[in-house]
Structure 1
Amino acid sequence: MRVLISGAGIAGPALALWLQRAGADVTVVEKAKSPRPGGHAVDVRGVAKGVIEKMGVREAIRAEQIDDRGFALVDARNRRMAELPADMFGGEGIVAEIEIARGNLARVLYDATAAGVTYRFGDKVAALTERGDVTFASGGTAKFDVVVGADGVRSGVRALAFGPHTEFVRPLGGYSSYFTVEDPGDLGNWSTMFNAPGGRAVVVRPEAGGTAKASLSFRSPAIYDRISRDEQVRVLTERFAGVGWRVPSLLAALPAADDLYFDEVAQVHVGKWARGRVVLLGDAGYCGSPLAGMGTSMSLVGAYVLGGELAAAKDPADAFAAYQEQMADYVAQGTQLPPGGIAMSAPNSRWMIRARAMSMSMMGHWPMKQMLAKQFLKADAITLKEYAPALTN
């Protein structure tokens, strides 16, 4: 079986690992010139923890984990108003047991597959048909039995085979940014969040090596469409002007940040994930947004299921149907927003900020704790099949 996977982030290399074990001829194409480093922290939850054990990468991930002790809400004087330790909810709460920088997880998966998979960096799919005929941006052409779009929320493969982004990407009314700053030295290995009126949220999250990841998010209609980096800096500076806490120092560091990420907060919903020999995986087909907190786990679980079904089926169409059937309920739950959605994450008024802090301070107590525990059970909302032994060697 000849398989082309577009996207060398998390979902793509995870699928490549399963398919190479099954004996497939796998190529991964990625528009970036090399594996992308850094990035914001992602987590591995529920059944996805069993998947990384089957993949044989758990120890490599353990070596790269972020020592994040919990999540705290603070006021402008840096006084804690509420805190949720990482071990609350059995390691499945806001901060999970396994937290790792996105780029580090991608590198672990790349290292696990580089010897048996062909990677084409600095290239992308320019055209394709549902029969698997592919033209690359570099000019070459090839035919594949399966083409997988694992290239994120704005999937190029999805746009070519399924339709424009506007049909599948649903803005949630806000924008988020991430960039690296020096560790301020007083985080105590806790992710710390500050809210300002006007739907503005600031998070500083510890990393290894003396750095931290800063996040500036704000509520807004979808008015910024793929703006330049200079425009991103300008928008963030204007939106967060006059905000206290650590924000002035974060804005001062922003222009020099070489890893600035800025995008709208959005979900992806695609009714049927396959057309002909083209299939979608991870954020390209189903994304709940960072607010839902299940993107990485759904990508890892989806790669395991899709890889197993492709290895077992004689016809890709049968594999795609089984993949969608098994994943449907899990994805439906994993893409659900928490109560309140973006309005709860970034309240507009001072009164709502205080009310949210009071609500969070009660999360460790009955009955709120029992209610939230049910919310976090969605990470286990699938029973995984066991596939051929060759896939788990």
Structure 2
Amino acid sequence: MTTNKNVLISGAGIAGLTLAYWLDHHGFRPTVIERAPHVRHGGYAVDFRGEALDVLDRMDLLEPVRALDAAMGDAAMVDAEGRQYAVLPAAVFAGDLEVPKAKLTQLLYAAARERSEYLFGDSISAVEQDSCGVDVTFENGPPRRFDLLVGADGLHSRTRGLVFGPEERFVRSLGIHTAIFSLPNYLGLHRTGQLYVSPGKAANMFADDAGGRARAALHFAAEGLEYDRYDITEQQHIVAERFTGEGWEVPRLLAEMRAAEDFWFDANAQVVMDTWTSGRVVLLGDAGYCAAPTSGRGTSQALIGAYVLAGELAQARGNHTAAFAAYENVMRPFVTEHQAVGREGAERFFMPAPTQEVLDVLAATAPERTRTEAVRLPDYAVR
């Protein structure tokens, strides 16, 4: 007899949606709560590597995701006047498969929405647990009791803050901040991009379709930067200040940034914790072990972590103590490896103009790095 079937998942991102799918697959009853009024539509392209592809395959989503593959071609590095001086091969920065994050999220939601309860436009405000369950207070809806609570609510996890402690205890900045937004593809890019680098700064623009929208990112180095996470105007002012006077297309990008409806800004950071569980509460994905965007592993970790957590709960027939311990045991080596990759990526992020020799080395070694997975996907219950 399986116990602890009623599971609340905080966060309808990649980790939360994947977990909802697998919990239902194993006979649990997931409820997903999401602060946004709907599944979020923004975000960059995301990569998949190694065992993450197996998770998609076991969800019958690998072929639909392949159909969305937005893997970029080579990216031209340009100087302040827009002159090309180097070409970064796609192998340097792409995964085995790359798709727009918004489209992936929609696929995952479609796969899980008929099997789960969704509470959009709400969030958790308080958590109290005892030996038999978890009492959750919501900002808008009435309080409810669940058997288990999963925090899959990202780098700035509300669940983690309520149960494990303040963010500063666990979040480690890598000294890079990034703004991402969409804009008209006025450069006519097609499955390719352009990258501009100056000391401590980088700007890039790329697109899947020459006739559609493009995505831009502005990165800069900064330590101890303080700002209101919910004040977009303040964030855009910070970005504009940092990039004022830069060349290439930066002035146009700054103008487009102010008009963007999907602007996102945050630090590249990692979450480092001794444990991801506390009683009947467990953390998943970026909430518990963010590897930072510089790792290129966040999406893969979210997919695999959700698959493993649901599988271990099923294997333990709902015994959360045993399942949570097994989940940590399987995922810890994987997370350790990928966080190391994230730190290494941050150290060389603002790369100066590379020599051809450096580019050759990067192109030769990048594919090998995509195969250095530290975990093998267990077979819990394949349909």
Structures share a fold, TM > 0.5? yes
When the two structures are aligned, how many residues end up with a matched partner? 373
| Secondary structure of 2:161 counterpart | helix
For residue 329 of structure 1, the aligned residue among 321, 329, 333 is: 333
Task: Please state how far the C-alpha of 1:224 moved relative to its aligned partner.
Answer: 2.3
Tell me if structure 1 keeps the 8 A contact 2:150–2:282. Answer: yes
Counterpart position of 1:19: 23
Does the 8 Å contact 1:38/1:104 carry over to 2? no
SS at match of 1:384: coil
**Residue 65 of structure 1, aligned match among 58, 63, 69:** 69
What does residue range 347-362 of structure 1 map to in structure 2 within 5 Å? 353-354=352-353, 357-358=354-355, 362=358
Partner deviation per Cα, 1:199-226 (whole Å, 9 max, x = no partner):
0110112134611111011111122232
Is the 2:71–2:97 Cα contact (8 Å) retained in structure 1?
no
Among candidates 282, 288, 308, match of residue 285 of structure 1: 288
Other-structure match for 1:274: 277
Match of 2:214, SS state, is strand
Shift of 1:2: 0.5
1:146 deviates by: 1.4
Confirm or deny that 1:384 pairs with 2:363.
Answer: no
Unmatched 5+ stretches in structure 2 = none
User: 3-state SS of the aligned residue for 2:304?
Assistant: helix
Alpha-carbon distance between aligned partners in 1 of 2:27 and 2:82, rounded to the nearest angstrom: 55
Which string of whole-angstrom CA distances, capped at 9 and with x for unpartnered residues, describes residues 154-184 of structure 1?
0011111100100111111121100111113
User: Following the alignment from structure 1 to structure 2, what is the Cα–Cα distance between the partners of residues 261 and 185?
Assistant: 22
- Structure 1, unaligned runs of 5 or more: 348-352
Contact (CA 8 Å) 1:10, 1:109: kept in 2 or not?
yes
Equivalent-residue separation in structure 2 for 1:323 and 1:240 (angstroms):
43
> What is the Cα deviation at residue 273 of structure 1?
0.7
Measure how far apart 1:346 and its partner are. Answer: 2.1
Asked if the contact 1:72–1:82 (Cα under 8 Å) also holds between the matched residues in 2, the reply is yes
Identity %: 40
Instruction: Give the one of 295, 300, 312 matched to 1:297.
Output: 300
Query: Take 1:163 and 1:174, find their aligned partners in 2: how far apart are those partners?
Result: 24
User: Equivalent residue for 1:109?
Assistant: 108
- More moved, 302-311 vs 330-339: 330-339
* TM-score, normalization by structure 1: 0.90
Q: Which residue is 1:141 aligned to?
A: 143
Residues in 2 aligned to 1:239 and 1:295: alpha-carbon distance in whole angstroms = 27
Matched, 1:195 2:197: yes
TM-score normalized by the length of structure 2: 0.92
Shift of 1:75: 2.2
Specify the alignment match of 1:350 in structure 2: none
Q: Please state how far the C-alpha of 1:385 moved relative to its aligned partner.
A: 1.1
Cα shift at 1:83: 2.8
- Once the two structures are TM-superposed, the CA of residue 124 in structure 1 deviates from its matched residue by 0.9
* Equivalent of 2:268 in 260, 265, 270: 265
Q: Give 1:386 shift.
A: 0.6
CA–CA distance in structure 2, aligned partners of residues 16 and 262 of structure 1: 27
How far is the alpha carbon of 1:339 from its aligned partner? 7.2
Alpha-carbon contact 1:130-1:161 (below 8 Å) kept: no
Amino acid at match of 2:122: D
Q: Is residue 321 of structure 2 the alignment partner of residue 308 of structure 1?
A: no
Given that 1:27 and 1:119 are in contact with CA atoms closer than 8 Å, whether structure 2 keeps it comes out as yes
Match for 2:174 among 172, 175, 187?
A: 172
Q: What RMSD over aligned residues (CA atoms) do the two structures have, in Å?
A: 1.9
Question: 1:215-254: per-residue Cα shift (whole Å, max 9, x none)?
Answer: 0111111222325211122111111111111111111212
- Distance in 2 separating the partners of 1:242 and 1:190: 26
Are 1:248 and 2:251 an aligned pair? yes
Q: Which amino acid in structure 1 is aligned with residue 89 of structure 2?
A: P
- For residues 148-167 of structure 1, the aligned pairs below 5 Å read 148-167=150-169
Cα pair distance change 1:195/1:106, threshold 3 Å: same
Matched, 1:32 2:36: yes
Alpha-carbon distance between aligned partners in 2 of 1:382 and 1:363, rounded to the nearest angstrom: 29
**Other structure's SS at 2:154 match:** coil
